Structure 1
Amino acid sequence: MLFVVSIIMWMVSYWFFLMKMVVIIDWELIYLNSEGVNLMLLLDGMSLLFGGVVMYISSLVILYSDYYMSGDLNLVRFIIMVVMFVFSMMFMIYFPGLVSILIGWDGLGLVSYCLVVYYQNWRSYNSGMLTVLSNRIGDVALLMSIALMSSYGGWDYYNYVISDFDNYLINQVVILIILAGLTKSAQFPFSAWLPAAMAAPTPVSSLVHSSTLVTAGVYLIIRFELLIESYFQYLLVLIGCLTMILAGVCALSEYDLKSIVALSTLSQLGLMISILSLGWSSLSYFHLLTHALFKSMLFLCVGVIIHLLGGGQDIRSMGGLSIQVPITSLFFMVSNFSLCGLPFLAGFYSKDLIMEAMSMYYINWFIFFMFYISIILTIIYSVRVFIYLMMLGGGLGVNYQFEEDLSSIWSMVGLFIGSIVGGALLGWILFDSPIVLVLSLVNKNLVVMIVLLMMLMSYLYFCNNYLFFYFKMFNNYSFYYFLGTLGYLSWLSTFVMGKGIISIENIKVLDMGWLEMIGGQGFYLLFVILSSSGSWLESNNLVLYFVLLLLWLVILGAVGLF
């Protein structure tokens, strides 16, 4: 059902792009105290195409889950949570009001947490807590943006994009929206939760943590692009460049297969944020869609390999898989090389267009080199994984009986087609006319030459054991710890924040403890007791008043006698 709906949405989105149609349906749910609560439905080419891609990947992941989760007792619960995730994603895509976005946003965070802790062990619990608390920062930012937008009399930012309102308040809203998008897309310094979320089952990683959930933040910032001022763009491009370089370098020293793919996702998210901040939202959206297709297939291939190896994820224990699982190896090779940007695969069309645009327009040289360095790092760790899995021998795979399941193959075939023709197809849908880029012959072929040259050099390095991180200057524990913790971000997000929160107990003991009891809170309680006593006296009958009168008469008489 999801698969059929996704194909229909792809075709409808093409019609919307071709006719440049936008349909906005606004329902007024309630009107109270001069402020209405509206539910706005936005149908345009961008929302329909993104929703179609999400449904397409979701349908294939659910089919794949029948194989991967076949021995799980809670398979039905797992499928229900995946469907809830898709529903939350659709709510965020098609309803642009901030309250509607918040509902879908919270739904994504809640379902993501439930899926990360699905295996119910300590590692999953810790990863889930880091994931949900990191995303709560974005939730709070959205709540604050709703409070600011309410001063305009509504929460549908789409009505205010083309209006001339107070720039100061709009900038505050944009800052909060950018913060929410950065946390959901795991940008620096909120990057630690994405590698930790790999504790979830591999189908979850394929759907949630590679192609849909993490791109929701990028999609949100794309929607707010018209409100982003230039000084926000400078900050975003620096954050994006820092994220993609840090993730690329850390992936070179990683041996966990799922962590390497997660770091590659983090690097591509940094590329999307960077190119978006430079004003090319259409190119960022194009790369978002192509990346979703080949990265979800890459995760599915990784899941098959891990499943057949009995849960092992260390690439040093793998090798020779191209002989044992040839079909999965073919799919893995196509998705991996599409990540590198090999010509005429899906990733090539978006990456080549991005780098050609960078070469044509005047761009800071620092940013220019950061983009090319990130591409080089992507090629190096992609070739490294390919050689470890497919070419090197002596792995533990010889101890297992391999049998590729038909349902997993069919699910990967759909994404395989997307990884082959998805780039060209999406390019035809998104751009009704060709993008004309006038470049010299060297600049035109620079990206292709770098991709091919670095793939050849990486192959020669790794096949001859001249490994980059075996150099003596890098062969020490501190350097590996720095890379393994993603530049100490994992340590900062857990240990430092935990110790900082626990240290607040001193405030509870002192300022909010006995100092309060002998200070403001103590006097408050004293006055409450005195006033309660007075009210008790006032609420009694006349007998008490006569007794008190007689008592005072006795006292006064005694005083008069003495």
Structure 2
Amino acid sequence: MMKMNYYLCWFFFFFFLYFSFNGLCFSMMDYVLVFEYNLVSFNSVDFLYIVYLDKICFFFISVVLFISSMVILYSLDYMGLSLSSVRFFFLILLFIFSMFLMIMSPNLLSILLGWDGLGLISYCLVIYYSSLSSYFAGLITCLINRLGDIGLLIFISWSFSYGSWHFFLYNSYYSSFFVYILVFSSFTSSAQVPFSSWLPAAMAAPTPVSALVHSSTLVTAGVYLLIRFFMGLNSFFFFFFFFGLFTMFFSSFCAIFEFDLSSIIALSTLSQLGLMISCLFSGYVDLSFFHLISHAMFKSLLFLCAGIFIYYMGDNQDIRYMGSVCKFLPFTTSCFNISSFALCGVPFLSGFYSSDFIVEVYIFNMFNMFSFFVYYFCLGMTVVYSFRLFYYSMIFDCKFISFSFFYEDLNLMSISIYMLVFFSLFTGCMFMWLMDYDLDFVFLPLYVKLMSFFSFFFGLWFGFELFKFSFYFFFISFYYFNGYMWFINSYSFYFYKCFYYLINSGFSFMSWGEYYGGYGFSYYFYKLVDFLYIVFTNSFNIFLLSFFIWFFIMI
């Protein structure tokens, strides 16, 4: 009962706090509030803590608060009543507060603390089920996010020479090396190529964690950091633009041949992150933030609906064993299809207002033909894997356990997805009207304007044709190749191995340093532990003998 009070109290707290963090007043009046706290002064360096509140901060905090409240309400039914679910609840709270620490302060030290909190707590949440695969997934998640800490630590040390850790004061003074370090750190969190492998691996966490991590917190932390730092990125955008394009194409292609429900949704998140990054490095900061907000709403709904499927089907995640779910779970199926259509960019849903607007602005500003085709091709592939998921889970006959029967009733999970459906339908249009994005008139020829519809129907047709292929139409190694994301983990291992042996062959002192350093220390430490174990497990005579020996030595 105490656990239930915890969940419900924090749900109401976050839900009512969501209405108080309203960025409309700040947006209309262009207000900025800065609270500065002087912690300590040392010569010319002031250790200050600043809370910086503007419209971007308020809108993003409100989205995080709303999704967090829905996830907490959902977890009350999903995680059950046990002592471990109390631990899960407090980890979720620490995760949310780490995100707030990173959002509200432009101090680099505060950003590092929030970043570290997100990485370490996500490790604890990914290994929650304590299986071998969970440990492996948590290790990948933690280590790749620790790479971003290296860049932030270098950035903190270097910016200390400017006299402050408040980056927005020195945006116009940063060198290109600063920009590369920042982008490297942000790419690790937003899972861009070549750091993409941790995002599908993090699906080993419970479904409420996936809905929170993959919609509005950990994966969007890197994008939010780049939006904050964007004044220093103006002259370096073109090279990184292609990283976003390749991430978008690569993840969409892998999702077409995936059979795990959670992995398909995770790869769709990776595709949308590639769209945000490519939009950001094209110079459209507001549009990237717009898509970040709208994507968070419908993607959290998609994860929570998928979690209900898994919950009622006995922890089954293979879409080949699903089918006719709409007969058993009609309300959840409707919510799932609404969020899936919003992901595809179906007109007048939330995802349409941001993604279609981004593509039209690209065309209007005369980007090259390569980017034009890649964007429309990725839009078509999004429809392909979404329709493939719909076909396997809704249209096929049920291939699960014989004589199985499950039904949904009105519980807290249904209430949470019902509230998210409303925002998945109306967030895009409300945000566009409130922020006056609809005042940007984009005039295009009719056939270019209808290209999004052509891509959508092409994706539907190709997705339907894909089901006519037998499972053995491609080689089994081809499915492994795409299921393991083109073996991106193996490549990183081989790169490390080649680099290590190259360095050791050129500079032999590194191997001696390893021998007399960490390796030698651990070797002799193990020997000492073995000796102490033999001593402590022997008879009392050894203790008596050692006592007399030390007694005579002291005399």
| Aligned ranges 1:82-161 → 2 under 5 Å | 82-161=92-171
Could you tell me how far apart the structure 2 residues matched to 1:514 and 1:351 are? 54
Q: Does 1:282 align with 2:281?
A: no
What displacement does 1:46 show? 0.6
Q: Does 1:443 align with 2:467?
A: no
What displacement does 1:482 show? 2.0
Could you tell me how far apart the structure 2 residues matched to 1:399 and 1:428 are? 50
Cα pair 1:192 1:486 within 8 Å, conserved = yes
| Aligned ranges 1:159-558 → 2 under 5 Å | 159-161=169-171, 163=172, 165=173, 169-230=174-235, 232-396=236-400, 399-405=403-409, 406-431=411-436, 434-451=439-456, 453-458=457-462, 460-462=464-466, 465-467=467-469, 472=473, 475-493=474-492, 497=496, 510-512=511-513
Could you tell me how far apart the structure 2 residues matched to 1:369 and 1:359 are? 11
1:432 to 1:476, Cα distance in 2 relative to 1, 3 A: closer
What displacement does 1:430 show? 2.7
What displacement does 1:398 show? 5.6
1:324 to 1:226, Cα distance in 2 relative to 1, 3 A: same
SS of residue matched to 1:36? strand
1:255 to 1:173, Cα distance in 2 relative to 1, 3 A: same
Could you tell me how far apart the structure 1 residues matched to 2:327 and 2:511 are? 67
What displacement does 1:449 show? 3.3
| Partner residue in 2 for 1:13 | 23
Deviations 1:94-153 (A, max 9, x none): 101111111111111111111001111111111111111000110110000011111111
Could you tell me how far apart the structure 2 residues matched to 1:82 and 1:314 are? 27
What displacement does 1:17 show? 0.7
What displacement does 1:504 show? 9.3
1:60 aligned residue (43, 47, 70): 70
Cα pair 1:124 1:199 within 8 Å, conserved = yes
Could you tell me how far apart the structure 2 residues matched to 1:240 and 1:515 are? 43
Deviates most, 312-321 or 354-363? 354-363
What displacement does 1:373 show? 1.1
What displacement does 1:394 show? 3.3
1:362 to 1:514, Cα distance in 2 relative to 1, 3 A: closer
Cα pair 2:432 2:438 within 8 Å, conserved = no
Cα pair 1:318 1:397 within 8 Å, conserved = no
Deviates most, 396-405 or 218-227? 396-405
Cα pair 2:325 2:398 within 8 Å, conserved = no
| Partner residue in 1 for 2:41 | 31
Cα pair 1:275 1:354 within 8 Å, conserved = yes
Unaligned runs of 5+ in 2: 1-12, 518-555
Q: Which amino acid counterpart does residue 26 of structure 1 have in structure 2? A: E
What displacement does 1:447 show? 1.3
Could you tell me how far apart the structure 2 residues matched to 1:249 and 1:503 are? 34
Cα pair 2:26 2:54 within 8 Å, conserved = yes
What displacement does 1:515 show? 9.2
Q: Which amino acid counterpart does residue 269 of structure 1 have in structure 2? A: L
Normalised TM-score (structure 1) = 0.85
1:319 to 1:495, Cα distance in 2 relative to 1, 3 A: farther
SS of residue matched to 2:441? coil
Deviates most, 70-79 or 114-123? 70-79
Structure number, greater radius of gyration: 1
Could you tell me how far apart the structure 1 residues matched to 2:495 and 2:387 are? 35
Q: Which amino acid counterpart does residue 265 of structure 1 have in structure 2? A: T
What displacement does 1:76 show? 1.1
1:456 to 1:482, Cα distance in 2 relative to 1, 3 A: closer
SS of residue matched to 1:211? coil
Cα pair 1:203 1:300 within 8 Å, conserved = yes
Unaligned runs of 5+ in 1: 517-562
1:359 to 1:505, Cα distance in 2 relative to 1, 3 A: closer
Q: Which amino acid counterpart does residue 14 of structure 1 have in structure 2? A: L
Q: Which amino acid counterpart does residue 249 of structure 1 have in structure 2? A: F
| Partner residue in 2 for 1:539 | none
Could you tell me how far apart the structure 1 residues matched to 2:514 and 2:188 are? 35
Cα pair 2:387 2:460 within 8 Å, conserved = no
Could you tell me how far apart the structure 2 residues matched to 1:298 and 1:513 are? 48
Q: Percent identity?
A: 41
Quote the RMSD (CA, aligned, Å): 2.3
Could you tell me how far apart the structure 2 residues matched to 1:493 and 1:160 are? 35
Cα pair 1:6 1:56 within 8 Å, conserved = yes
Cα pair 1:218 1:272 within 8 Å, conserved = yes
1:502 to 1:411, Cα distance in 2 relative to 1, 3 A: farther
Cα pair 1:95 1:101 within 8 Å, conserved = yes
Cα pair 1:290 1:347 within 8 Å, conserved = yes
Deviations 1:431-465 (A, max 9, x none): 366221121222222213322x1354146425xx3
What displacement does 1:500 show? 7.3
Deviations 1:135-192 (A, max 9, x none): 011011000001111111111011122x5x3xxx532222111111100000000000
Q: Which amino acid counterpart does residue 307 of structure 1 have in structure 2? A: Y
What displacement does 1:210 show? 3.1
Cα pair 1:275 1:284 within 8 Å, conserved = yes
1:333 to 1:511, Cα distance in 2 relative to 1, 3 A: same
2:54 aligned residue (37, 44, 56): 44
Could you tell me how far apart the structure 2 residues matched to 1:398 and 1:295 are? 32
SS of residue matched to 1:27? strand
Q: Which amino acid counterpart does residue 198 of structure 1 have in structure 2? A: M
1:196 to 1:501, Cα distance in 2 relative to 1, 3 A: farther
What displacement does 1:28 show? 1.6
What displacement does 1:352 show? 1.1
Normalised TM-score (structure 2) = 0.86
What displacement does 1:509 show? 9.3
What displacement does 1:252 show? 0.7
